[in-house]
Each structure stands twice: as structure tokens, then as C-alpha cells.
Structure 1
Amino acid sequence: MDAPARILVVDDEESIRALLAFPLRRDGHEVLTATTGPEALEQFERGQPDLVLLDVMLPGLDGVAVCRALRERSAVPIIMLSARGEEGDRVAGLEAGADDYVTKPFSVRELRSRVRAALRRAALPAARPGATPPIEIGDVVIDADRRRVVVRGEEVELTHLEFELLVTLAQAPGRVFTRDMLLERAWGGSAYRERRTVDVHVLHLREKLERNPKAPEHIITVRGLGYRFRDP
């Protein structure tokens, strides 16, 4: 069984908060709740949760703004909640730094699966320093053991998913990965997930790695297929 975690649930509807909290508590997690954007930020500072479930539509400060504020101070996993069909909200959440999203109405099985996957990624232990040689391709150095990435001599900070996505691509330079393959490798499965999720995270990676994100040298789009990392 996975180790219990502290999870912050943010939604202004009491019924949704209860529906989210029940299976999480049943799995042994401690659940904190908030109903507004400002309260979510306050609860985050006070409770230091291990994961945040964050609704897009919130009073006071919407979920996208809250996500952006949290991402400025922490790499904690953030799963956004949005109504089915509101693709714009989901994309906005991912672009603000969310790791994943769940659409309403959601199944308890799906929710628990997403939470478990996010917590496992965040809890990945660092291997023994020096056990695996760093990956060096061009001006990018990836130290998988220490989960550090250096680009042109400067260390860059990546979220858990950005790092997993980068390592997946860089460990097999030149190999083309479809979006479904990347969802399986980095997110732990493609079920319930849209391929657009990969595109948004690749965009974030390019902003952090490339000299010119609009003309990428490292993460190359293979039209109609997916992505590959540049050859050594």
C-alpha cells in the first residue's frame, strides 16, 4: 500500500469536496479543504500538502491563477478539476503548471488512479549519486540520480512530469515517441488522458531548454507521429 499523504482539496461545491475527500481518506490520506482561491493559498502555506486537487472555477481567485501562484513556490503535484468539454480550462491549467487534470463528472477509480500516480512520481527516491552517468547531449546535461538538469551551464527547475518526459526522450535520442507512448512512460498510462496534455508539457520544456522555443533544437516535433530528442 502506498504511504499516506497530505492532500489539499480545493472546490467551492461542498458535494464535490465530500466526493473527493471520501476515497482519499479511505486510502489513509489526510485531507485538507479550501473553498476559495485565497483560502487555498493560505491552506497550502499552513498545511504544506503533498498534492493539490484544484478546481478551475473558484471564487476570489480562479484555479488557474492559484495554480500559477503555487507553481512559483513549489513543485508539488497539482491535479486540476474541470467540467467535461471545457478544453480551454484544461489547457489553461496545464499551461499554468498543473501536472494533470480530471474532468467532471469523474469516477472514483479514475481519481484514485491519478492521485496514486502523481504521489508515486513525486516520491521517486534519488538513486545513489554517481550510479548512473549523466546524459549529455549538446548543451543539455541530465543527472537522473539527482534529478538535476543543466542547460548551457545553468541549472533549470523542472516539475516532476517535465523531468520524466525529458528523461524518456533523452534516454533514446533520435527515437520517435508517440503521444500515447509518452503518456504511458511519464504519466503512467494513457487512459482518461488527452494527447494534448503531452503537447502542453513539451511546450513548457521547450521554454526551459531551447534558445528559441519556436525553433527547437532539442525536442523535435515529428509531424503526424510525436516527438524525438535530438541526436547526440
Structure 2
Amino acid sequence: MVMAKVLLVDDDAELVGMLKEYLELEGFEVTTAPDGERGVALALGGQFAIVVLDMMMPRLNGLESLRRIRAASNQPVLMLTARGDDADRILGLELGADDYVPKPCTPRELTARIRAILRRTQSSLAEDVAPQMIIVGQLSLWPEQRRAEWAGETVSLTSTEFNLLEVLARHAGRPVSKNDLSEQALGRPLARFDRSIDVHLSSIRHKLGPLADGRSCIQTVYRQGYQLIRE
């Protein structure tokens, strides 16, 4: 079995050592970087399944590192954020982070979150019952290829954005609750006051653009969640 390669970018040597040891015991191959500049160079030059990126680092902070990674790559990025630092957390999601884990976190929690992201991104783990193609109006999705098109044009989506759009497409015409979206797309229960789903869906709406009548294809259904409408 091929080990998933994880890039861990954080300047806290003690924490990095502990997380690296635990992840390797769990079957991951771990590369570390002590600052953002080195982390970005490795992320863009290596073949990593996921990048774990700390928000506060010397030389290049986590947000700028994420910005540079996203300018050239859609590989999954999991942010490590200070607990309660909502402004930076939301900005990280808006810049394209797939999810976040508040610090201090346990190695078990981080490992579970990494697995949840990878479970939905690795085509080898795709469900056998998944159709080769999903079409809803102008939207076409190829789940096993992780590819999306809108009106015949390729749409560049992050891992989590694709997951969310796939869940909505499979339930097109019906509302899906935020908790179900979090469970199925992020692999975790929706936390209280968590705005991750809203931020990701806002990004998806922007990337897809409006329908001919000016509406978004993703509608908010009061007290029920979100719905991908059929044209």
C-alpha cells in the first residue's frame, strides 16, 4: 500500500516532531518545513497528497503561503489556526484552504481530519456506485477524475469545493442541510458557529457565475440548508 505524503509546515519544532512521529506511526510519509517560504517551495515542487500549514510562521505567514500555493495548485491544504481566531480562519477559507484545525490540537484529531480530506480526494477510494458523470443543467462533474465544467468550461475547484458541489449535485433539486454537507464533504460534524460551509459555497458561486436570469444555481433554503437548482 502506497503511503500518502504529507507536508507539515510549522515553526514549532516540538509540535512538529510530535505530529510527525504520530502521523508516521499511522502510515503517512511526512516531510516538514520550518517556515512559509520553504513550505511553499516544497508544496509546489513535490508530490504531496496534502499540505498542513500553520497560520503564524516566520519569513512568510500561513495566509501568504496559502495564497502562493493556490496561485499554482489546487492540492488539499489544511490550516492550523489559533483557537478563536475567526477572522484569519475565514480569510484562510476564502483564499482556498480546504479546512482548518484549531491549535492546540491532538495528533489524533489532526490525523482524523487529514484522513477525512484524503478520503474524498483520492479517486482510488471513490464509491463503486458512483456514476462516471453527473449532469445538472450547465454543470458537469466527473467524480473519479475530480473534474468540473460549467457551460462547457473547466472550473478550477479546491478539494473541499468539489466535495460540496458533488454532494449538492447528487441531491439536485432538494435542499441539503449544513450538517449533512459538513459530514459528507468535510468529513466532520458541523461545529457551532462554524462558517466554513458558507465561505466555501460563496467561493463556488463566484466561480460558477450566475444563471441566465441572474440567480445563483446554489440557493439558500431557509432553515433547511442549500440546494443546487435544476434549470
- Give TM-score, length-normalised by structure 2: 0.88
- Structure 1 residue 151, shift from structure 2 partner: 1.1
Counterparts of 1:147 and 1:77, CA distance in 2: 12
Counterparts of 2:171 and 2:206, CA distance in 1: 21
Q: Percent identity?
A: 39
Counterparts of 1:118 and 1:143, CA distance in 2: 18
Which amino acid is the alignment partner of residue 109 of structure 1? R
2:208 paired residue number:
209
Q: Residue 126 and residue 30 in structure 1: after superposition, are their counterparts in 2 closer, same or farther (change >3 A)?
A: closer
Q: Residue 171 and residue 122 in structure 1: after superposition, are their counterparts in 2 closer, same or farther (change >3 A)?
A: closer
Map 1:147-186; keep pairs closer than 5 Å: 147-186=146-185
Which amino acid is the alignment partner of residue 91 of structure 1? I
- Structure 1 residue 111, shift from structure 2 partner: 0.9
**1:76–1:122: 8 Å Cα contact kept in structure 2?**
no
2:135 paired residue number:
136
- Give TM-score, length-normalised by structure 1: 0.88
Q: Residue 117 and residue 19 in structure 1: after superposition, are their counterparts in 2 closer, same or farther (change >3 A)?
A: same
1:17 paired residue number:
16
Counterparts of 2:116 and 2:125, CA distance in 1: 17
Q: Residue 6 and residue 225 in structure 1: after superposition, are their counterparts in 2 closer, same or farther (change >3 A)?
A: same
In structure 1, the residue corresponding to 2:183 is in which secondary structure? helix
Q: What root-mean-square deviation, in Å, do the aligned CA atoms of Structure 1 and Structure 2 show?
A: 2.4
In structure 2, the residue corresponding to 1:116 is in which secondary structure? helix
2:78 paired residue number:
79
Counterparts of 1:20 and 1:160, CA distance in 2: 23
Which amino acid is the alignment partner of residue 221 of structure 1? T
Q: Does 1:26 align with 2:25?
A: yes
2:194 paired residue number:
195
Structure 1: which 5+ residue stretches go unaligned? Answer: none
- Structure 1 residue 47, shift from structure 2 partner: 3.4
